Amino acid sequence: MDPLIYVAAAIFLSVLFLYSRKPQAYPYPPGPPADPIIGHIRKLPRVKLEEKLHEWAQEYGEQYL
């Protein structure tokens, strides 16, 4: 068979795949910047977690709660 058919099929399938992917429904909520791999573990306090979460809610907003 003609190699042009394979190239055209590959391009068609690539375009079809790119347009069939659904974008993320909602963006991530605002919050403090996270560290790579471990996320926010280093920033969470060992005691009085509720106070820290309340502080972040005041600072970054509560629109996603």
Position 5 pLDDT exceeds 80: yes
Whole-number Cα distances in Å, 52 to 10, 12, 13, 36, 46: 52, 51, 49, 21, 10
Determine the Cα–Cα distance for residues 30 and 57; give it in Å rounded to an integer.
9
Specify if 65 maps to a domain. no
Helix, coil or strand: residue 2: coil
Q: Is the residue at 10 inside a domain?
A: yes
Question: Mind listing the pLDDT tens digit for each residue in 14-60?
Answer: 888 877 776 666 676 777 787 888 887 887 777 788 888 888 888 88
The domain tally of the chain equals 1
Q: Tokens 């394979």 map to which residue? A: 6
Please give the model's pTM, rounded to 2 decimal places: 0.40
* pLDDT score of 42: 81
Per-residue pLDDT band for 3 (boundaries 50, 70, 90) equals confident
Residue 35 lies in a domain: yes
- In terms of residue numbers, what domain contains 28? 3-60
